[in-house]
C-alpha cells in the first residue's frame, strides 16, 4: 500500500499485529521491523515507533521478542511512501493494521 503524510511533521506509524502467524516483517519506505516469533490466535503485539514501545494485549512489555530488524522510520512530511506487511504462515484471524496521525505545526 502507499501511505501519505499530509502533515507538517513526520508521522510515526503505530502497528498492531494479531495472530495466528509464525512471524511478520513490517516495512515503511524501506525501513523494516521484524517480529521473528509466533503469535498465537487472538494475541496481538502493538508497536509504537515514536516514542518507541512494544507491548501486548495487557500492556506488558514485548521488547524481548524484538530480536530481528528494528529500523523504526516515519512517513516523511508531504511524502507518499510504500508500506508492506509480510506475515509468515498466517491462519484465519491473522491481521496487521498500521495507522499514522498527521500533525501540523500551525493551523494555517
Per-residue pLDDT of the chain (108 residues; tens, 9 = 90+): 999 999 999 999 999 999 999 999 999 999 999 999 999 999 999 999 999 999 999 999 999 999 989 999 999 999 999 999 999 999 999 999 999 999 998 766
Contact 39, 95 (CB under 8 A): no
Q: What is the pLDDT of residue 98?
A: 97
Contact 21, 86 (CB under 8 A): no
Contact 6, 76 (CB under 8 A): no
Amino acid at each position: 500500500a502507499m501511505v501519505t503524510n499530509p502533515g507538517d511533521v513526520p508521522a510515526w506509524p503505530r502497528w498492531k499485529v494479531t495472530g495466528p502467524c509464525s512471524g511478520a516483517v513490517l516495512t515503511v519506505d524501506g525501513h523494516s521491523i521484524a517480529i521473528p516469533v509466533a503469535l498465537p490466535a487472538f494475541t496481538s503485539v502493538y508497536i509504537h515507533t515514536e516514542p518507541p514501545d512494544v507491548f501486548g494485549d495487557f500492556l506488558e512489555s514485548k521488547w524481548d521478542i524484538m530480536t530481528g530488524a528494528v529500523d523504526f522510520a516515519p512517513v516523511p512530511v508531504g511524502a507518499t511512501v510504500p508500506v508492506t506487511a509480510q506475515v509468515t504462515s498466517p491462519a484465519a484471524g491473522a491481521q496487521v493494521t498500521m495507522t499514522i496521525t498527521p500533525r501540523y505545526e500551525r493551523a494555517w
